[in-house]
Amino acid sequence: MHTLLAYTTRSARASRPDEFESLLPIGLCSLHALLRSREIPTTLANFSNLTNRQVIDLLLQIKPTVAGLSQWTHNRHATLELARLIKQTLPGCTVLLGGGHATHQAELILQQHPEVDLIAVGEAEQTLLELLDALEAGTPLSGIPGLVIRTHDGILRTAHRQSWPDLDSLPFPATWLHEAINVNIPLQTEFLSSSRGCPAACNFCASPAFWGRRVRYRSAHSVTEEMLFIREQYGLTYLSLRDDTFTADRRRTVALCQELIEKRATLFWNCQSRVEAIDRETLEWMRRAGCECVQLGVESGSPEILKLLGKRIRPDQIRSAANLIREAGMQLSVYLITGIPEERDADRQQTINLIKQIQPDDLQVAPLAYYPGTALFETAVNKGILRQDLFETSSDEAVLAMRDGQLQVKHLLSRTARYRRSCSMKQLLAIQDKQGYSAVTAMQAGDAYAAEGNLQRAAEQYRLITSKEPDHPWGWLLLGELFEQTNQRCKAADCYEQVLRLVPRNRPAAEALQRLKE
């Protein structure tokens, strides 16, 4: 018995999916790592951007008896196309769907799509283990919690599946990633998760319905070990923690930062959080441990729209959190939502005014969209505004709350573009004077000097890292790039070689050395 775990973003769109859309979900990588750790024959594959002929050739080569496909709303049709192709190529293969969209539309999918045999609901590690055992033994599936299955009597939802008891006991998702098919390893391994769930209940988000309202955390030690593993195994020196609210447990956040410092991880990283879940002390530890950017779900500057979205935050809290992040010497990135039916010009102006006040380094705007499992969608269905089978009848990857949602996004981006601004050199130097040295602040100050064309001052900041922390690869990497830019090839090569002594599998340094040789 061989299991295929697969993801695809192939769709009817003329354009190819971007590299981030083509990333494998972390949960699918976790399932792969779990099966591999139990020595269960498994293949992990990303079928995005492959032709049907290429997919068929791989299927005939792998010959899976079970195919687990990760289905989310944006790739729902592409996943079903893949399921049909699998059934046509290998009629005896059991096709299992999992993921956010499949979880919340399970009965509807099984009613309308015979190419799908069954669906794993929510967190699927234990469910998949028990399912494979049952299929191999030929025992009934109805006794396995966490499944929705097709029977002679109709669609059956089995008992509720309890969450995996100890997240630390799961193998790191990236452990066997090097074996995967058609995966961008450097980009894929940049993203990791240290918890499951979110303490909030925003109306537009399906996280609570998928994970449950209780947030479960991995220990600081487990997360540190994973970050060090990725550094050593894949050569990465920059990581992104994709928890819904990374700082929800502030004591664990501080403990993680302290361990990263103690273990000399010497990484830069970013995270997502909420405005009411950060404080000055936690941010200080994060900066010292290498956090260079915090991303906040701001969504709107209008109190009425924030309430409508179920955010349970106020604009004054947003301003306070933004100031704390700036004062800590980290970059600020914010997410906004527009294209909301109830949003008026006055609400949008309040958002623009807020962005003018907090001046983030980076700003991402998305149109409000319906997703199954969200309060927004369920309310619209109950009111008769939308049909339950909306996602079956719509071919759009994202079903927007307003037809001109994308136009609203462009409009808001154009009106806020001039207010995006990095910390000034004066601010960065003041942070250094007040809080002392940190690699994060020195890197940002060096980058700011380089942007101004003052390469001598930039080099001084980068050398500050190499003198204070000779084992920190970023100081050498930044100096190497600066020397290469100014055609000081021998000095650049020396810096890149130093990076590789510290992180032997670091791809940017290896590629730079090769470039210099050419």
pLDDT value for 14: 43
Q: Which two tokens stand for residue 339?
A: 């294209």
Domain ranges of the chain: 3-157, 186-419, 426-517
160 Ramachandran zone, left/alpha/beta (phi>0; psi -120 to 50): beta
Under a CB-based contact definition with an 8 Å cutoff, are residues 290 and 267 in contact?
A: yes
| Equal fold, 3-157 vs 426-517 | no
On the question of pLDDT at 64 being above 90, the answer is yes
pLDDT value for 18: 62
pLDDT tens sequence across 172-193: 999 999 999 999 999 999 999 9
Name the residue with tokens 């210099």: 516
Q: Which two tokens stand for residue 8?
A: 């695809």
Q: How confident is the model at residue 13 (pLDDT cuts 50, 70, 90)?
A: very low
pLDDT tens sequence across 100-147: 999 999 999 999 999 999 999 999 999 999 999 999 999 999 999 999
Q: How many CB atoms lie under 10 A from the CB of residue 486? A: 12
On the question of pLDDT at 409 being above 70, the answer is yes
Amino acid code (one letter) for 188: Q
Under a CB-based contact definition with an 8 Å cutoff, are residues 175 and 30 in contact?
A: no
Under a CB-based contact definition with an 8 Å cutoff, are residues 413 and 365 in contact?
A: yes
Q: How confident is the model at residue 424 (pLDDT cuts 50, 70, 90)?
A: confident
Residue in 469, 491, 62 with CA at minimum distance from that of residue 267: 469
- List, as one string, the DSSP characters of 381-427: HHTTSS-TTHHHH---SSEESSTTHHHHHHHHHHHHGGG--PPPHHH
Angle at alpha carbon of residue 361, lines to 438 and 276, rounded to 5°: 80
pLDDT value for 429: 86
CATH number, domain 426-517: 1.25.40.10
**Residue 370 per-residue DSSP state:** E
Residues 6+ apart with CB under 8 A from 412: 336, 338, 348, 351, 352, 365
On the question of pLDDT at 152 being above 90, the answer is no
On the question of pLDDT at 451 being above 60, the answer is yes
On the question of pLDDT at 41 being above 70, the answer is yes
Name the residue with tokens 């000097």: 449
Percent of the chain whose pLDDT exceeds 70 = 98
- Mean pLDDT, to the nearest integer, of 71-83? 96
pLDDT value for 10: 67
Cα atoms found within 13 Å of the Cα of residue 234, Cβ hemisphere only? 24
Q: How many CB atoms lie under 10 A from the CB of residue 36? A: 17
pLDDT tens sequence across 307-326: 999 999 999 999 999 999 99
Burial of 231 (0-12, 13-18, 19+ CB in 10 A): buried
Q: What are phi and psi of 343, to 5 degrees?
A: -75, 130
pLDDT tens sequence across 257-312: 999 999 999 999 999 999 999 999 999 999 999 999 999 999 999 999 999 999 99
Superfamily grouping for domain 3-157: Cobalamin-binding domain (3.40.50.280)
CATH 3.40.50.1370 fits 186-419, yes or no: no
